[in-house]
Amino acid sequence: MSSIKTIAQSDILFVCHECDALQRVPAVEPGHDAICIRCKSRLFRNPKGGIDKPLALVIAVMIMFIVANIHPIMDLTIVGVKLSTTITGAAYVFWQSGSPELAAIVWLPSVLVPGLIIAGLCYVLFSIRFQLNWPYTKPILVLIDRLLPWGMMDVFLLGILVSMVKLADLADIIIGLGFYTFVIAVVLYAATIASLEPHTLWESLQDQSGKQNEFENG
Amino acid sequence: MASIIVSAKERGIAGCHTCGQAVKMQNYAQIECPRCGAEVHYRKYDSINRAWAFLIAAFIMYIPANTEPMMHTTSLGNTSADTILEGVIYFLSHGDWPLALVIFSASVMLPLLKMIAIAYVLISVQRGSVSRKTEKTNLYKLAEILGKWSMLDIFVVGLMAGLVQLGALTTIAPGPACIAFAAVVILTMFAEMAFDPKLIWDQVDK
């Protein structure tokens, strides 16, 4: 039997993130949302599948993300010259050719930030799901919250598609393994974020540290 | 049966921006969240001034972003420079109107609409407007969600420059508009993060 408490089990005092309305929120069924009484914004959700679903998804994302980043996204043939690069490889060429700041603007939101979010979520979800009490879960979750708006894999995917159409005039294109796995990573990443409720994670973390304190006192 | 809704601030309570915990402020303006350790305050610090500063900077950068070339293409000795609008026209002239529409909306319309939306909400808060609070909140949230899609053209140029430069006869180099464009996207994101939507709801009928 799992001792992981979910938010649905108790009435809690809640402050709306958007309009500051103070309200007592009753239990929410799995798969339903709690909506602010004043501005109708979503206060929190109670996603179906608890913590298992985002954990399973984020592991899948991690695998796809790694494969997508070590394989070329496309092979180009321009007047007999064959080119093949990964996302990081393309950013590196960009860096060397004298636009390091633009290379960073391309590479950070498409590779580093999503990579940190995925790795961080794996760590935190593992720790919560198997009650491992791993260190630094709270600062990592705060960091993930700060990084989320800067992860732009979905926009980058559209960017790859547009550049393929543009390059089709100049070169012969063969789509690589990196591209297919990147598409899967983007879809699964969106599903992971949709299946996560930060509030539930924080409740679980609070429970864990509460238990830890009891052990320390006893 | 109209129930009276109170702001958390009136009861000395603030919601943590990071973990959502309702925190008793005990006469402090700012304390550390007991659950997640992040800073908790009633309203974001100097929200309106900071939002305006970022927004005005973004407006200024929007001009070179559209007038300067985004990309230099050198093919067999011929160099051509394209601004964003020229890129859109290129796709239109090739009959590729869905792509032209995507690039036009993401690169030209979206940043402009986002800046106008934030400016509208800021002005209405400064004027003490009490009307259409829910709509303004939704407008702000929409700007928050859609803003990042303006990065599209920068990613396209970055990818093409990176992919094509490896010793080919054709080279693609980024133009000065790229950095201006990135600045527009990043500055509007800062403006939207600096603004506190709770200020919309702090305005009350006199």
8 Å CB contact of A78 and B169: yes
Structure tokens at A50: 């608890």
8 Å CB contact of A141 and B179: no
Measure the CA–CA gap between B136 and B197, rounded to whole angstroms. 9
Residues 6+ apart with CB under 8 A from B97: B91
Grouping H, G, I as helix, E, B as strand and the rest as coil, residue A98 is: coil
Mutation target vs B (from A106, A111, A113, A156; most B CBs, 10 A cutoff)? A106
Task: Please list the pLDDT of chain B residue by residue as tens digits (206 residues).
Answer: 345 788 888 888 888 888 888 888 877 878 888 888 888 888 888 899 999 999 999 999 999 999 999 888 887 777 888 888 888 898 888 888 888 999 999 999 999 999 999 999 999 999 988 888 899 999 999 999 998 999 999 999 888 888 776 556 677 888 889 999 999 999 999 999 999 998 998 887 65
Measure the CA–CA gap between B160 and B147, rounded to whole angstroms. 23
Nearest CA in chain B to A95: B162
Across the interface, of B18, B20, B22, the residue whose CB is closest to A44 is: B20
In the predicted model, what is the mean pLDDT of residues A79-90? 82
CATH 1.20.140, domain A51-217, yes or no: yes
Domain ranges of chain B: 1-42, 46-202
For position A160, what pLDDT does the model report? 93
Grouping H, G, I as helix, E, B as strand and the rest as coil, residue B174 is: strand
How many beta carbons lie within 10 A of that of residue B48, not counting itself? 17
pLDDT tens profile A208-218: 665 444 433 32
Residue spans in chain A of domains classed CATH 1.20.140: 51-217
For position A8, what pLDDT does the model report? 45
For position A213, what pLDDT does the model report? 43
8 Å CB contact of A165 and B21: no
pLDDT class of A5 with cuts at 50, 70, 90: very low
Mutation target vs A (from B159, B170, B198, B200; most A CBs, 10 A cutoff)? B159
For position A197, what pLDDT does the model report? 86
Q: Spell out which residues of chain B touch residue A90, defining contact as CB-CB under 8 Å.
A: 158-159, 161-163
Max avg pLDDT among A72-76, A107-111, A132-136: A107-111
Across the interface, of B106, B151, B158, the residue whose CB is closest to A94 is: B158
Select the CATH number that applies to the domain covering B46-202 from these four: 1.10.260, 1.20.140, 1.10.10, 1.10.3470: 1.20.140
